[in-house]
Structure 1
Amino acid sequence: MSSPHGQHPPDPTSLASGEPLIARLARWSAERPDAPAYGFTDHARDSAGTPHTLTWAQIARRVAVLAERLSASVADGERVAILAPQGLDYVVGMLATLHTRAIAVPLFSPDLPGHGDRLRWTLADCAPAVVLTTSETRDQGERLLNDGPHTAVREVVAVDEVVEGADAAGAPAPPDPVTDPASPAYLQYTSGSTRQPTGVVLTHGNLSANVRQLWEAAVGRGTEADTTITTVGWLPLFHDMGLILTVATPLLTGSRAEFMDPAAFVMSPVRWLRLLSRHERVYSAAPNFGFEHCVKRVREADKPALDLSGVRGLLNGAEPIRPETMRRFVAAFEGHGLRPSALVPAYGLAEATVYVSMDTANREPRTRVVDRDALADGVVRECPEEGERTSTLVSCGAPVGQRVAIVNPEDHTEMPEGGVGEIWVCGPNVAASYWGAPERGAGVFDARPHGQERDGTWLRTGDLGTLIDGELHVTGRAKDLIIADGRNHYPQDIEATVAATHPQFRDGRVAAFAVPGDDGERLVVMAETGASGPDTEQLTRLVRQEISREHGLHLHELVLVSRGKVKRTSSGKIARSACRDAHLKGMGVAV
């Protein structure tokens, strides 16, 4: 199958190099020993933020000390789980594990509220031999392990205690880094929006290829010698984009990463913008929620101190991208140096390491207004302007160093341009399996397009999209499609309609899904509401009217729940399947 686009022909030398990224740590330690490598701004003890920075020489010494400790206690292929708070110790733990022949499992701190069950399930699945944490969270980690059948864990190690004094005492020579690109590097657990979290087995080759692809797409070809770039982030380091942006990308070029805790951003999103303002030639990423949060929560009094003129790219991905959010974000911060072209819609998934496609950072985001009914029938028909029966698609650009095709999910034939089908991906960044259960990956990683069986295997993403002028436009998630009255409906469109119905509803806290009925699927909407507002009958009447007018659908039930009850994944996506399950078990007030 030929590449469906022609904007970025892959360069095998630069994009598919088998050199593991971790091998470059020694290079930057020798060539740029005093240059800042990783910086963490801690808002937990000081609301203004206390910066902590490690140079390339310092990070290399800490990694060497911890890698030596791990190599003495972990066999090839055993798992090392990282259960540390966001911070520099997390970075050291991840890099040290990558430097061994163990398999890293980036997870979250055991004190993260509301995720205990997920953490127990994941630990039971990956069965780590060693758990890396910090002295502050070791007790919580040990209690968590004692609560579950985690018999494989032999040791809980506090990273900060092991690396204490590494600068003064000097560091041992680290073990030789992995040289086989096919060797497993880490397990990236999926966010679980449609199923239990599953560990994607990512190799050193996958990691190296995807970081190179992402760098070339964002910064440009032939720029790997550029050390002036800074990446800034608040995404959790156990999240695929947070891990790649903050931990892995600096290894490629010897550049710099600055980051903070996600909770610090949620409490005060202006902190992210302030960190962006401190650097020139800066790149960052966030889901749509992050941009919306800035629009709503950054005070006018805080804006004059911002200087976003150094921002080169803000990737928007990980959840449906709303054009209106991008417009509001630009309107809010364009007067403070932000260029509209800095907003970069992107698409990716853990099974492809993270990055698949992104718009180029030298133009404003490109959108297309299309007929909603035609889109539901699998055809893109553009409209001259927005209307009641239209949807707006956002271009995620063309892939770099990998191939994307739109395939009919039933007969596996490639769709013509403008046809809607399943997004398939092929490239050196694509994983080969899920951890511990090969049957989970059957039909996912080994797909072959009809008539193109010699073209290698492809990844079936489960997402729906279309290619227009060679650029990817994501339309939804196949498993989340609502089929009512013989027509397909995208849940994110219905959710946006409900959220706009009344201020009582929280944007991003509405889930639309279907439940079985005697006469086919029935539409249910679960929505969080505040403590006060109009009565339920009035809300229901408004919602029914808007859904009928906008989508031609009958609302079977409106389920009102308190704040925090619309389930979301660890990466912030609406977990519609979990919401459906909760509804069927009787959670919430059905109206």
Structure 2
Amino acid sequence: MSLLSLGAEPLVGRVARWAQERPGDPAYTFVDYSERREGTRRTLSWAETHRKASALAVRLREVTSEGERAAILAPQGLDYVVAVLGCLYAKVIAVPLFAPDLPGHGERLIRAVDDSAPEVVLTTAEARPGVERFLEEHPVKEVLTLDAIDDALAERWTPPAIALDDVAYLQYTSGSTRAPAGVEITHRNYGSNALQLFDAFDADPATSTAVLWLPLFHDMGLIATVAAPLVAGNNAVFMDPVAFIMHPLRWLQVLSEYGDAFTGGPNFAYEYCAGRITEEQKASLDLRGVRVFLNGAEPVRPSTLARFQEAFAGCGLRPESQTPAYGLAEATVFVSNGRWDAPAKITVFDRDELTRGRAVPVGEPAGDGGDERVSRLASAGAATGQHVLIVDPATRLARPDGEVGEIWVHGPNVARAYWNNPERSEETFRARLAGPVAGLPEGPWLRTGDLGVVHEGELYVTGRIKDVIIVDGRNHYPQDVEVTAQEAHEAIRTDHVAAFAVPGEETERLVIVAERSRRAPEDLDPAELAKVVRRAVNARHDLRLHDFVLVPAGTVPRTSSGKIARQACRHRYLDGTLQG
């Protein structure tokens, strides 16, 4: 059997394979910073991983049955990995969530638990008291404590017959534009996307090490941390997201320990590292061994790629290691990426033409760029093991290269449905082309809701359909306006700006909500700042700014994956609950 083909075997079956072939090799390593500043490492070998997953599977089958749901309400750690794999072993549908004490996500947790209706909740001894308080209003049949399960139960485990099209888990979306929905990820989706990601990382079997901090309940964290290492028996080293947020240096320090490593994160993580890690701290870093810094899960800013490269070039960071990517939960996670062996491709497009739906490349503007009317976009490269097509969402006809439309995806990694939502599933997962395209199927296609364009064979993501700001009949992409606003004055916090439209008498009106930066002077006049932003937006976009709201840090809502939740911010603005 080829390591890089799924075949008829579900990917989870490879745990047992590595447990037999390389029982003592490290499988998953958790760096725990809760007790010691330098962290404590805890590792499961492949044999230990298999044994613990088998024991959990036996216990699950004692309290529930195949096809039922088991919600994981546990903190980041090795127990979480075992919870996911144990559910797959038992043929129980996992629902990767988080402990109720995770700040800022209480409503999302309630909606996901109510929607999935799990029979079982998996947690840890430490988190159990909080989980039990949460379950007083959301009762379930059984609560299992992961770190109290007897490994000896593994002796009683017998593998069930798992088909590739059986549902493996429900991935709840982060809810940037709608209420969270459970994406049904099958074993085929899970395995196919892990293979696609492994290929994109150009990882060496059993040698390359994954180093990550992404939350395991998020699609990117789950696939990169838990699934991708299964492909060829590689080691995954991970930490709690809070450990990264408190001290971003930790992420790069762990990466520095490996001569062959790959990692990934959203754009804000790279911006955060470049802004927070000091020159003195950089002296401890050696990033020569990092082959891929995947940048995805939110819009990739060319300015962030440049800033991260400038900040860490002295630490051995190779320009080609920064790899922009595109993906979404409905495609399991991963869709396309830039080349891993070449620097990220940045193309400058005429902004006015983009608003008209055409991608027209132009040269870099001369001068200081203060009045430039261009958009710099990072290429998300080409799809791996799947098809990507740009389609007119109204006519369902494919658009030629250079024309903006909705991004449609077809491949073995595309999920089949939303849990308990047939109407929305039909709309999203079963789209069909209205006209033939040579070499491509008529359907079914995934409608991503994202806008993009193919230029010179590569995908550029321009925005979300629901976020597009339409003023006087012209389309404006909010991320462009947000960059203009944050670059207008140092008082505005980078990557913490939301631009959106509100109803007007004759046309939509532009509103910008921005968080106050730590660099803002104490005597800052918000009215004067608004004037500066207004002038910049008018000059660069020919847009009139209806309202500018400066808010404290932490006010602009974000999804669980770190994306700016523009629609949520818009709702708070309209109902007057923004703290200005």
| TM-score range normalised by the length of the shorter chain | over 0.9
Give the residue type in structure 1 aligned to 2:502: V
The answer as to 2:396 corresponding to 1:412 is yes
| CA-to-aligned-CA distance 1:248-270 (integer Å, 9 cap, x gap) | 11111111000001011011111
- Give the secondary structure class of the aligned counterpart of 2:390: strand
The answer as to 2:224 corresponding to 1:245 is yes
- Give the secondary structure class of the aligned counterpart of 2:149: helix
Give the residue type in structure 1 aligned to 2:59: R
User: CA offset at residue 304 of structure 1?
Assistant: 1.4
Counterpart Cα distance in 2 of 1:414 and 1:508 = 33
Contact 2:3–2:231, Cα closer than 8 Å, also in 1? no
- Corresponding position of 1:473: 460
TM-score of the superposed pair, with normalisation by structure 1: 0.94
The answer as to 2:442 corresponding to 1:455 is yes
- Corresponding position of 1:176: 159
Counterpart Cα distance in 1 of 2:459 and 2:558 = 26
Give the residue type in structure 1 aligned to 2:9: E
| CA-to-aligned-CA distance 1:369-401 (integer Å, 9 cap, x gap) | 010000111111111114410001111111111
- Corresponding position of 2:411: 427
Residue of 354, 379, 385 corresponding to 1:401: 385
Give the residue type in structure 2 aligned to 1:246: T
Counterpart Cα distance in 1 of 2:127 and 2:565 = 28
Contact 1:422–1:463, Cα closer than 8 Å, also in 2? yes
The answer as to 2:360 corresponding to 1:381 is yes
The answer as to 2:72 corresponding to 1:82 is yes
Residue of 482, 487, 493 corresponding to 2:480: 493
TM-score of the superposed pair, with normalisation by structure 2: 0.95
The answer as to 2:539 corresponding to 1:549 is yes
User: CA offset at residue 328 of structure 1?
Assistant: 1.0
Residue of 85, 110, 130 corresponding to 2:120: 130
Change (3 A) 1:541 1:26: same
Give the residue type in structure 2 aligned to 1:337: G
Counterpart Cα distance in 2 of 1:505 and 1:273 = 27
1:272-421 superposed matches below 5 A = 272-386=251-365, 387=369, 388-421=372-405
Counterpart Cα distance in 2 of 1:277 and 1:121 = 40
Contact 2:197–2:224, Cα closer than 8 Å, also in 1? no
Counterpart Cα distance in 1 of 2:208 and 2:342 = 20
Contact 1:380–1:419, Cα closer than 8 Å, also in 2? yes
Runs of 4+ displaced beyond 4 Å = 12-16
- Corresponding position of 1:48: 38
- Give the secondary structure class of the aligned counterpart of 2:81: helix
| CA-to-aligned-CA distance 1:104-138 (integer Å, 9 cap, x gap) | 00001221112112111111011111110100000
Residue of 59, 69, 73 corresponding to 2:59: 69
- Give the secondary structure class of the aligned counterpart of 1:455: coil
- Give the secondary structure class of the aligned counterpart of 2:101: coil
- Corresponding position of 2:90: 100
- Corresponding position of 1:200: 183
Contact 1:330–1:338, Cα closer than 8 Å, also in 2? yes
Change (3 A) 1:533 1:64: farther
Consecutive unaligned residues in structure 1, runs of 5 or more:
1-11
Counterpart Cα distance in 1 of 2:200 and 2:553 = 39
Counterpart Cα distance in 2 of 1:185 and 1:100 = 10
Residue of 107, 110, 115 corresponding to 2:105: 115
User: CA offset at residue 16 of structure 1?
Assistant: 5.5
User: CA offset at residue 14 of structure 1?
Assistant: 4.9
Change (3 A) 1:516 1:187: same
- Give the secondary structure class of the aligned counterpart of 2:125: coil
Between 255-264 and 520-529, the greater mean CA deviation after superposition: 520-529
Residue of 13, 27, 31 corresponding to 2:17: 27
- Give the secondary structure class of the aligned counterpart of 1:301: helix
Counterpart Cα distance in 2 of 1:313 and 1:13 = 20
| CA-to-aligned-CA distance 1:421-453 (integer Å, 9 cap, x gap) | 100000011011101111121221111111239
1:559-570 superposed matches below 5 A = 559-570=549-560
Change (3 A) 1:284 1:330: same
Using the aligned pairs only, state the percent identity. 52
Q: Across the two proteins, how many residue pairs are aligned to each other?
A: 568
- Give the secondary structure class of the aligned counterpart of 1:65: helix
Give the residue type in structure 2 aligned to 1:257: A
- Give the secondary structure class of the aligned counterpart of 2:503: strand
User: CA offset at residue 589 of structure 1?
Assistant: 6.5
User: CA offset at residue 562 of structure 1?
Assistant: 2.2
- Corresponding position of 1:514: 501
